[in-house]
Structure 1
Amino acid sequence: MSEYTERSLHELVQPIILLVDREEPASEQHGIAAAALASVQAFMRDPDNPDWQQWATGAFAKSVRRADAKMFARVLAAFPEHVLSTVGQASAIGLPPMPAAELPKLLAKLQVSGTTLPTGDPLPPQPLNIALNASLDMSTGKAAAQAAHALFAWVLESKPAVVEAWAADGFPVGILELPAKEFRKGLRKSAGPVIQDAGRTEIEPGSTTAYVTARKVK
């Protein structure tokens, strides 16, 4: 079992923009899954890009920012290189890596902290799921970033044929919010690297936050 520690990448960061509609917000698990998929789908569209290669060989830092419907539409129009991922009524934009200290103003003014979505209906389990440590009580934005780290790490370390088959099946992914005991128990059977947080926001440094797990769907 390998571990990935989320660290600050000084040169590049991947922006992920999560739609938080003021009138009809999507449910939390759908939003988390959409953000995670936006990250990997943006990468998989152009994996040979030198910026992606440089970013992916580092700590692959991500910045999950929220936008209301109006700002979300502006981001879609302003960045034609975007990937739009949807899960149920949730939507997220994945963008290529950018210099962390030089984000475009439109992105830089979008908020990172305090992003929350209502609990709503959970996603049904899938053959591939992202397990989150529910005992950490992460906000939606924090959980989305950790889920994106876990899914991206799984993509990088899995056999290409496995990832290609998953993509051909429509990128199905579930979200499992597990209590501490069950989360720790699942570590031994994780299908990908285990994510540990740097502790810059919300939680203690070194906290184990997420991993990908594969299981049969009943």
Structure 2
Amino acid sequence: MTPPAEPTAEALRPVAARYAAWWGMSEQEVLVDRDEAAHDIRALQLVLRLERDATVSRHRALELAAAGAALLCLDERSEPGGEWFEPVRQYCVAHIRKVTRRARGAQWEATAALPGLTLSDQGAEDAGCVTEVRVLLPGPASELDKRVSKLQVGGTDLPWDPPPARSGNEPVLRLWVPEQPPMTAGKQMAQTGHAGMIEAALMAADDDATLADWAAAGCPSAVTSATPAEWATLSAALDDPAAAWRTERLLGVRDAGFTEIPAGTVTVIARAPR
């Protein structure tokens, strides 16, 4: 399935409405806001294929997570009347939690039968390097399919590799991640997944033409590990998130602090295609 020619992103409307409020919360407010009853928790599962002795690109894994999370929400099945609309809508109404897991062999093959999207990226310059990410339809964490719940969350770290070359002829979501605090690749995949979803939600509200072009191109993104100086400049621009989006097409992601890093930490800064 491909995104509709002009995706409405109807299911993503709650994400756009909530964005500025979430960005403006204090650390303590984030801690209070994130609290949910166990039966209310919904999550999107990202599955990274990690075969024994395989060469996997960290850059591509982060980029595929961003693309996959956006594409799933923009898929025609996630449009009103589609079979995925209600699960995606219910997920977006609450917190857009994401969990990265790893799989290989039979475990990877087993998850192929679950509803979602599989993205694969192999650069011409990377002989033998294939990066694959599966983005599964979000649902209640308490009802997680056993084929997914058995997959390990840990062990998803990858070394940084050279960023892949870009053609320059397609609309690209620029993603910057900080050098500090350090995060595993799995953690950062969840964060870039958030960025892809938020970007799609915000663009649907005021630039549906560019959103349609980006979706038609496969929601490509490019990840950069920002230097401290670059990160400080980008962060300063987000002091007023509404203005940053309106004038620079910049958005940010703040983490709820469940794993690895403190609540309220800014994990990704992104610039939407223009």
Same fold (TM over 0.5): yes
Aligned residues of 1:20 and 1:26 also touching (Cα < 8 A): yes
1:21 aligns with 2:46: no
In structure 1, C-alpha distance between the alignment counterparts of 2:190 and 2:53, rounded to whole Å: 24
Alpha carbons of 1:117 and 1:21: their partners in 2 closer, same or farther (altered >3 Å)?
A: farther
> Map of 1:1-218 to 2, 5 A cutoff?
2=20, 4=22, 7=34, 10-45=40-75, 46-47=77-78, 48=80, 49-76=85-112, 78-79=113-114, 81-88=115-122, 89-124=130-165, 127-158=172-203, 159-187=207-235, 188=237, 191-214=249-272
Alpha carbons of 1:193 and 1:8: their partners in 2 closer, same or farther (altered >3 Å)?
A: farther
- Per-residue Cα deviation, 1:181-205 (whole angstroms, up to 9, x for no partner): 3113123156343111111111112
- Per-residue Cα deviation, 1:23-73 (whole angstroms, up to 9, x for no partner): 223111111111222222122112231121121122211111111233111
In structure 1, C-alpha distance between the alignment counterparts of 2:35 and 2:191, rounded to whole Å: 14
In structure 1, C-alpha distance between the alignment counterparts of 2:188 and 2:174, rounded to whole Å: 14
Alpha carbons of 1:4 and 1:37: their partners in 2 closer, same or farther (altered >3 Å)?
A: farther
Aligned residues of 2:67 and 2:220 also touching (Cα < 8 A): no
In structure 2, C-alpha distance between the alignment counterparts of 1:42 and 1:170, rounded to whole Å: 11
Moved more, 40-49 or 207-216: 207-216
Alpha carbons of 1:69 and 1:160: their partners in 2 closer, same or farther (altered >3 Å)?
A: farther
| Secondary structure at 1:193 match in 2 | strand
Aligned residues of 1:28 and 1:117 also touching (Cα < 8 A): yes
Over aligned residue pairs, what C-alpha RMSD do you find? Answer: 2.3
Alpha carbons of 1:193 and 1:203: their partners in 2 closer, same or farther (altered >3 Å)?
A: same
Unaligned runs of 5+ residues in structure 1 are none
Give the CA deviation at 1:86.
1.8
Give the CA deviation at 1:94.
1.1
In structure 1, C-alpha distance between the alignment counterparts of 2:22 and 2:213, rounded to whole Å: 24
TM-score, normalisation: structure 2: 0.71
Moved more, 190-199 or 33-42: 190-199
| Secondary structure at 2:180 match in 1 | helix
Aligned residues of 1:133 and 1:183 also touching (Cα < 8 A): yes
Alpha carbons of 1:21 and 1:117: their partners in 2 closer, same or farther (altered >3 Å)?
A: farther
Alpha carbons of 1:72 and 1:122: their partners in 2 closer, same or farther (altered >3 Å)?
A: same
TM-score, normalisation: structure 1: 0.87
Unaligned runs of 5+ residues in structure 2 are 1-18, 24-29, 123-129, 238-243
In structure 2, C-alpha distance between the alignment counterparts of 1:68 and 1:3, rounded to whole Å: 39
- Per-residue Cα deviation, 1:116-145 (whole angstroms, up to 9, x for no partner): 123233134664211112211110000100
Kindly provide the amino acid, as one letter, of the partner of residue 198 in structure 1: A
User: Percent identity among equivalent residues?
Assistant: 24
Q: Give the aligned length.
A: 214
Larger radius of gyration: 2
| Secondary structure at 1:135 match in 2 | coil
